[in-house]
Structure formats: C-alpha cells, structure tokens
Structure 1
Amino acid sequence: MSIEDLAPEILQNIFDQALPAKAILSVREPPLLIAHVSPRWREIAFDTSSFWTNFVIDAYTGATHRQLLDLWLERSGQKPLRFGLNVPYYGAMGSMHARIAPLIASLDSHAERWKEAELTIPNSLMVPLVASAHCQFPLLESLTLRSHGLIITATRGAVGAPPGSSLQRSPRSEQAFPRLRNLVLSGTLDILDKGILPWHKLLSLQSVGDNVDDALYFLEACSSLEYFQFFWSRPGSAITRARLPLFRSLRGLRITSQTLLPALNVPALTHLHLHSIWPRAGGPEPLETISSLVARSGCTESLESLIIDEGIICGRIDSLPRLLASLPALAHLSLKFDHDPLPGIMVMAPILEDVAYIPKLRSLILRGCHNDEDDSPILERLLDALKQRVQQPHPPLQRVEITVQAWMSRVMRPRSGRTAPEEEYYNRHQYMVPTTVVKEFQVFAAQSAPLEVRLVAARPIGGFRNRDGAFKYVNQVLVNTWGQAPLPNQCWCTFCLSRN
C-alpha cells in the first residue's frame, strides 16, 4: 500500500502533524507546499479549512502577496483566525507601505473572524485597522499591538481622570471587543487616546514603556486584571502619580524592578516576579519594598511564588530572612543573586536549616556567586540544610536547582601577566565545586528520590543577553536527576498552573 491509498482522514492527520504552529504565507511552506505534491493531496489540503486558520504574514521575508493571503482566507472557510502580521520598521514609508495596505484591507474584511491577532506594524496602518468605526471583532480574545516608533509616554491623563478622558468606558469598546481579555502593547499607540479598548474587562495586560508612570496609566482602568506584566527601559524612573486603587483580582505580577510596588495594593497576589531589584540612593532597601507590599496588601497567605532574576540583594543581612518569615504559603522560590557582593548561597543556608521558614516550599531555584574552593563549606552547609528538609515527615520539597556562579573577573584572563591560555580562564568555573562536594550531592540526589536535584557550575558571558533581556550563562551540569533541562523559572504556584 502506498501513501496515496490511505484514507483522506488519515492523510489529514499526517498533514496536520507537518504544519508549524503558525504557517508562513509561502508556496515553499506547508500547507501550500503539501497542495503542490499531487492532485489528491491538493484536494485534501484545500478542503481542510483548519489547515489555513493559523498563519503569519512576515514582510521581513518578503511575503506580502495579497493573492496568497486571500487564498488562506478563502480556504479557512468561516473558522476563527489566529494570525500575525510583521512589518519591518522601514515599512512605514515608500513602496513597502503600499504593499502592506492591501493585506490590511483583506484582514479588515474578515475582522469578525479574528480570535487571536498579533500586529507589528506602523501606527499609520494600525490606527485605521483597529480603530475603524465599522470594524467589529466579536470573537477576538487576544490582541498584540506592537507599533513602530518611540516608546509609550504617560502624557494622556492623570489617575482618576474626569469623565470624557481616554480611559473611560465607551460604547465603542463594549460593542467592538466584547470578548477581548488579553492585551499586549508595545510602541507608540495613538489608539489609546481614543478609548476604544475595553480596559475594565481585561484579565491579562503585558506592555513595554519608557518609565514607571506608564504602568500607572495602563493599570488605572484595569479593574478586573488578573495578570500584569510591565517592562520599562529606565528601571530607575520614579513614580510621580498617585497610588493606584485596590486590585482585588490581580494574582500574577511580573515587572522590571520594585519601583512600581509602592503604588500597588494586591490582596490576592499569588505570583510575584521581579526581573531585578536595584537599590536607589536614599530609598528603601529593595527587599523592604517587597515586605511593605505584602504587609500593605495582606497577601501573606496568598503569595505562593517569589522570583527575583538578576537581583542585587543589598543592605541588612536579615532582610531576606524577615521577608521569607512573613510568607508562610510560599511554595516556589527562585533567587538569583547575580553580581551581588553578598553571596546568596551563604545567606540561604541558615534560612533552609530552620524548617519554620517557608514550610510549604516545593521548588527552590538558587544561583549565587562563588569565589573558590574555600567556599566549599558553604555548599556543604546548604546540602545539610536540604537533607534536614527532606527528612521531615511528608516533606513538600520536590525539586532543587543550585547554580554556583563564577565572578566575571575569575573567568577572564588578566590584561597583564598572561601565563595561561584564554580557554583555561574561561573554563575555570567547571572546577569551582570540589569533587567531594559533587559526590555528596550525587549521593543526596540518589537517596532523596523522588526529589529532583540539579547542581550547576556557571560562568557569565559579559555584554550579551538573551531574547528575554536576561544575561547569558555557560552552564556545566554537575548533578542532574531531572528528566530534562528545566524551563526557566518554571513555577508550580496555583496561579501559573491555572494558566498553563
């Protein structure tokens, strides 16, 4: 039997497995590539409308032919559409603008079928599309708007704006976006001045701005928000607006620094993710800012997850123990003491020794700087603390990841007195953890199953960040009983589990 003899339903399933998450509008990619193999495959591909509902138009690769888009829209029948449109920055001018406008018109004519849309286009094209009075988006649940130009600035009105301002509810937003609950914003978006979006119905808002006041501008109208993510380009920017109202539904918060925290009151907060906590001259200690948020909001019993990436934990050494002592419900803790003069592993060892601290801890991710083999007693003390945790009756601890990080200066060859090859300096992190300590961790991992243990030696790569903005590291895995490499900051709190 040849593949041509298979039933159409089986071929449909096979073709479906060959489709990418979002098909690229191209004759060289599925599903159109499948349609060019044989007349029978063409018939099956063209008659299966679900093959054509998930696509991306990428002008970066020159895929700007309206005929292709019209083919996709026609073959998708009446099914909901999930699509992306990516136009390079220079697309705001000249011939590219003229080539993209017809694509916008085709998408506009099917607005009633949009379910998930991701638009990276200039304002001159975005505003007429989304703000058009005749466009209705009855199925749209998730919308991403990335506009070319300068970062958003908070100059549109103050918190508590009077009636008639841009953030008031409008009949247009209620009618045009009845199901919109998830919004991602980035860039200069003039449409925000028109009050066309149903801010008060949003459950998830992710945005990028220039300063912390931008966050307040967005948040003031989002009374039903459950998740808020905000990255701004100037972490040191200060709040100039009044404190925000109470957010009773906000459970997940992911922001660039702690600057926004004094304006918030979040009694249901479950997941707090800070990408960095930078101390400010004359300001409170970063960890004290978190403690104040917890005390003010009364979320001690709801906060299950605390993640601090690239954190500089400075100030009094008892700040971290006092914070963790106030969080009895904490189940996931991820602390990365990057570039911190206070070694994080040394701080965490005595905290873990006392099982009264964070008694419900299920998942621990810890990264701290390590000087040399003289620090090995600190690692041994940390291991002893973990042993005490798992020896408790019905221990909740299920996974541990410890990353021993080298200082940048220890893995860079000095400018003078170069007596060793450069590679030898780069690889010094592999020998920071003594063999005896590695063996002790291996025995602990073997005897503590089903607890998952991962011990890593790492060196930073100076001057380079990944796509999420975090620093890159070269990792040498020393001990690993995880089935596979863990996802970054994979969290088991009830909020994150409910979203996955």
Structure 2
Amino acid sequence: MMYAPSRCSECGAHSTNPPRESFDVNVVPGMRHHALLSTNEIPEGSEVPFVQSLVSETDSRLASLDDAISKLRGQLKTLEEARTSLLTYRTRNSAILSPLRKMPPEVLGEIFLWTLPSLRDEFTRCKVDVRACPWVLTHVSSGWRTVAHSTPSLWSRVVINYETSAPASSAYPSSLVEAQLQRSQKLNIHIRGCEETDFLPQILMFQLLSQHSSRWEELSVRLTPQMSPLLAPLRDRIPSLKRLWIDWTSPESQTAVQSIDCFQTAGSLVDVGIYNEFDYAPVSLPMHQLTRYEVEAPWDKHLSLLPLATRLVEARIDITSDREPANLSLSGVVELLHLRRLYVSNIHVLGCLRLPALEELGLWIHETDKDIVQILEAFIGRSACPLRRLCVERFPDVPTTVEILHKLSAITQLVIIIHVHDAVHSNNINALMSALTVSDLTSSTAVAPQLISLLFGCENTSSIDYSLYLEMVKSRWKASNCALRSAVLLTEVRHPDPDTLHGLHTLRGEGLDLLLVEGVDARAQMIHWTYLTPWTEIDSCSSMFTI
C-alpha cells in the first residue's frame, strides 16, 4: 500500500507520508516503494505517477539546497577575503614593531653578508641569478635596498663561468655585471673561459672587468687562446691585487702567449697559484714579496724561482716533468728562512732545501721512493726545523711509516690521505691502523705515543675498515702513555657504519675532539691539508654528517 502524495511543509512537494518538518528520504522496509527501490521490478502503471512526484519533489528540494549552498559559499568567500585583508593589515602593523626597524644599517649589512652563496654555488649556477643574494635583497623594501647598495662587500665577488651549455651572451648580462662593479669597492674576480662557447662575449666581459682592475684584490682566471693576450694591458694597472690563480683550458691556450709579465709590477701580490696542466708557460712574478707559492712546473723552473722568494711562509711545489729522482738536479741548497708549511710532489727535492722554520710538511709518495726515511732524516738534520705535522699522500708501506714516526719523534700530527689506488691494490691503510692500535693499554710499547692528532682522509671511493679505525682511535684515547687528543675522518663517498658512529660518539662524549666530514666538504678539507688553493676544486654538491 502506498500513501497518496501530500505537500511537504518545508518545500511544498507532494509526499505519500504525513506532513513532516523536513524532507525524509528514509523508506520503511516492507512497503511497495521499498521493494521498487531495492529491486529491478517494473512499476505498475498506477505507481508511475507516484515515483514521478517523488523525483519532482526531490528536484525542488535539491534546488533549494543548491541555492542555500551558493549563498553560504558567497558568505564564506566574503569572510575569507575579509580575513585575508585583516591578516595583511595585522602583519603590516606588526612590522612597525619589528626589531629590524631599530637595527643599525651596518648590523643589517653584516647579516646580509651571511646570506651570500658559496663560491661553489656561484660557479655551479653559471649565470647571474637575480633571485639569489645579493640581488634579491634589493627587492624586499626600500630600506633593505639602500643598505644592500651601500654595503660594497656584498658585491665584491664577481663569478663568471662560461663552462656551460647556456649561451655566453645571455648568462651574464653586461648591465647587471656593470651594476655589481659600480656597487663594490675592492673586487674578487673569478672568471672561467671556455673554448667551446662563443669567445666574443668572453672577451668583452674580461675587458669590462679589466676597466676596474685597479680595484682587483683577487683574480682567478682560466684562460682561452683568445683571452690570454688580454693580460698584457693589465701591467701597472693592478696595484691592489693580492691573490692570483691562473690555469688554462687547453694546450693551445698556453702556447697562445710566449710569456706573461703583467704581474711583475703588482706591488701588493703575495699569494700566487699557477696550474700548468698541459705545458709550462713562463709567468714573471714579484718573487721577492710572495708569502705563498703554488706552482706546477718542471723542477729546474722551481729551482730558478724559489731562491728569489725569501719571504715565503707557505709553498706547494708540484713537479710536472722529470719525476724520476735520477733526473732531478739537486745541486746546491735553497734556503727559505720563513717557510712554515710545505708540500712537495717529489720527496727528493727536499735534498736541496734548507727550511729552519718549517712546521708542517706534506708529501706525495711514489712507488719508486725507497729511501724515504733517509731523505727525511737528512732534511731534518740540515734544516734543524721544528717539524710537528706530517701529511702523506699515497703513503709508503707500514714498516717505513712506523720507522718515520719513530725517528721523527717531534711529529705530533699525522695526516694520511688515502687514494683509490691504495684501497684497491693494497691493505696498507688497514695494516697501518692495526700498527697504530694499542693492544695493551698499560704497555709502553705503543707506536708513536707522542701523536696528539690523527687525521685520515679517504678520497673518492677509497675503502677503509671503520671498525679498525674505531679500535685504533679508542685504544690510543684510553692508553695511559698516548697523547691523542683529536681525530679527524674525511670520507668523500662512504661514511662510517652506525656501529662505528655510535662508538665514536661515545669517545666524543668522553672528551675526544672529533670531526667527521663527508662529501665535497671532505674534499675541501683534504685540499686544505695539501695547501692547494680552494678555487681549484669547485663542485656542485656536498654533505656533512656530525655525531
């Protein structure tokens, strides 16, 4: 049985149920209407008008609800707009009370300096990015723009890198570079040319930078054949230049110029790095005033330059040819009275050096080097220097290393840099760590008990047994007769396992001065250990882990 349709009190639609306050969509089980809803039965002719009336009634109610929802949505949008307006108003008023308004401009400028990207990031970007600092600081407010424009050190570093697939003409718009040059005082110029990129924009850019050469304090440049001739006009125009780094893109870029003498008259130049990857290019330098020297050249070229560098404090001597000891001319003795830090790529050059102030020595060990101990003993005896730090790349066999530490008992810092070759072809590093491990904490037979610092660097994918490393450090830290106070572990790729990290964390909690670094930051530290210029190693990613 079905009720006859009646008008709903709320929406006026007909209903078979008695009048009610709201539209009820519930159907009582057992009724004919429920059966039609629950099955696929065909309605009888007399039932069709009833169902049609329900559909019509529902349409009316839906229209009413849609209208109510539309009105509510309009009200909600109005409320949201009002809230947004009030929130903006509140934020603007709160800004009036901000401590930044009271901050002196010089303090704000100092904070701005901490926002500058790293040199590595700027080289990787390969373009001027106005969305990055310092450019973006000028778009925050008129006050910030004034402070940014009046802080010259924000704009002093100019990085131009054409080693990219981007068009050279669009990566560094001259208008933006010129604006940066105008806002700066002293300038640190880093420009990398590229032979595979249109050379005309590179020449124009170098010429633009050269117009401000009187304000250069740093210059690192990778020269193309077209750029090399542009150095000559710099003569007598770089009075403020303190640091210089030069390398070349190809052999042709070096042969494009017979010699470079524009830096001979640079009266402030004290720090020089020259990387001759392809061939030796003569560069005249004011050797008598240099305090830092990093040059890759044949030994005879070094031998002609070093006696003139009487003020050197730090030097890296890379031998590009005549690497075999028998081919080195070791006649005479070069005395450098103030040199404190030295790295040599061939240990045999120590045979003609006398360095009475030397405190730190870095060595690249060749497989043919058999008389390392004798060379070091003779050098120390001749120099009578206070050597306290020894850094070794491609270190010798374990017995030789132990003998060095035994005979050079003044060494308190040992630095080992492990290369891929060492990890793949020998177990030297693990054997060395075993030799440095103290088996009896109360015994007096520990190897080199005077070592205060142990610094290990693992280059690229070099492997190291971290459990052995932990045991070595732990034993020397706890041994009563060992002086160990600090340890550094650098890993470019593979960092220690969780168990090793937990053990090192425990030692750090006990007071051990411990530093763990991974990735490009580790590489940067190893560069520092061997007195390389950081500019020579710019990568795009880094990571660091600490415990």
Cα distance in 2 for partners of 1:271, 1:40 equals 49
- Is 1:313 aligned to residue 397 of structure 2? yes
Aligned to 2:134: 31
> What is the deviation of 1:144?
1.2
- Counterpart of 1:304, as a letter, is R
Match of 1:296 among 382, 385, 388: 382
- Counterpart of 1:295, as a letter, is G
Aligned to 1:248: 337
With over 3 angstroms needed to count, the CA separation of the structure-2 counterparts of 1:177 and 1:116, relative to structure 1, is: same
Cα distance in 2 for partners of 1:403, 1:180 equals 33
Aligned to 1:335: 416
- 1:345–1:379: 8 Å Cα contact kept in structure 2? no
With over 3 angstroms needed to count, the CA separation of the structure-2 counterparts of 1:34 and 1:396, relative to structure 1, is: same
- Counterpart of 2:389, as a letter, is S
Match of 1:18, SS? coil
The CA deviation string for residues 214-271 of structure 1, in whole angstroms up to 9 with x for no partner, is 5445434323221111345679444433445222222111233424333322222211
- 1:363–1:400: 8 Å Cα contact kept in structure 2? yes
Aligned to 2:95: 2
- Counterpart of 1:335, as a letter, is I
Name whichever structure is richer in strand by fraction: 1
- Is 1:227 aligned to residue 314 of structure 2? yes
Alignment of 1:38-117 (within 5 A): 38-60=141-163, 62=168, 63-76=171-184, 79-91=185-197, 96-117=198-219
- Is 1:399 aligned to residue 447 of structure 2? no
Cα distance in 2 for partners of 1:372, 1:37 equals 51
With over 3 angstroms needed to count, the CA separation of the structure-2 counterparts of 1:54 and 1:137, relative to structure 1, is: same
The CA deviation string for residues 256-294 of structure 1, in whole angstroms up to 9 with x for no partner, is 3424333322222211122x41231xx633343333322
State the number of aligned residues: 402
The CA deviation string for residues 4-60 of structure 1, in whole angstroms up to 9 with x for no partner, is 983572654554332224566443332223334555544443343332222212223
Match of 1:136, SS? coil
> What is the deviation of 1:398?
0.9
Gaps of 5+ in 2: 1-93, 530-547
Quick check: 287-296 or 137-146, which moved more? 287-296
With over 3 angstroms needed to count, the CA separation of the structure-2 counterparts of 1:397 and 1:112, relative to structure 1, is: same
Cα distance in 2 for partners of 1:439, 1:75 equals 48
Cα distance in 1 for partners of 2:219, 2:455 equals 35
Aligned to 2:46: none
- 2:223–2:253: 8 Å Cα contact kept in structure 1? no
Match of 1:363 among 453, 456, 474: 453
Match of 2:266 among 172, 177, 187: 177
Give the percent of matched residue pairs that are identical in Structure 1 and Structure 2: 21
Gaps of 5+ in 1: 154-165, 405-425, 459-465, 471-485, 492-500
Cα distance in 2 for partners of 1:6, 1:323 equals 62
> What is the deviation of 1:203?
0.8
Aligned to 1:411: none
Alignment of 1:73-222 (within 5 A): 73-76=181-184, 79-91=185-197, 96-129=198-231, 131-132=232-233, 135-150=236-251, 176-187=265-276, 193=282, 195=284, 197-209=285-297, 212-213=299-300, 215-222=302-309
With over 3 angstroms needed to count, the CA separation of the structure-2 counterparts of 1:72 and 1:455, relative to structure 1, is: closer
Quick check: 358-367 or 179-188, which moved more? 358-367
TM-score if structure 1 supplies the norm length?
A: 0.64
Cα distance in 1 for partners of 2:317, 2:112 equals 39
Match of 1:180, SS? coil
TM-score if structure 2 supplies the norm length?
A: 0.60
Cα distance in 2 for partners of 1:113, 1:371 equals 47
Cα distance in 1 for partners of 2:221, 2:410 equals 39
Cα distance in 1 for partners of 2:191, 2:490 equals 39
Match of 1:184, SS? strand
Match of 1:333, SS? strand
- 1:123–1:189: 8 Å Cα contact kept in structure 2? no
> What is the Cα-based RMSD across aligned positions, in Å?
4.8
Aligned to 1:17: 114
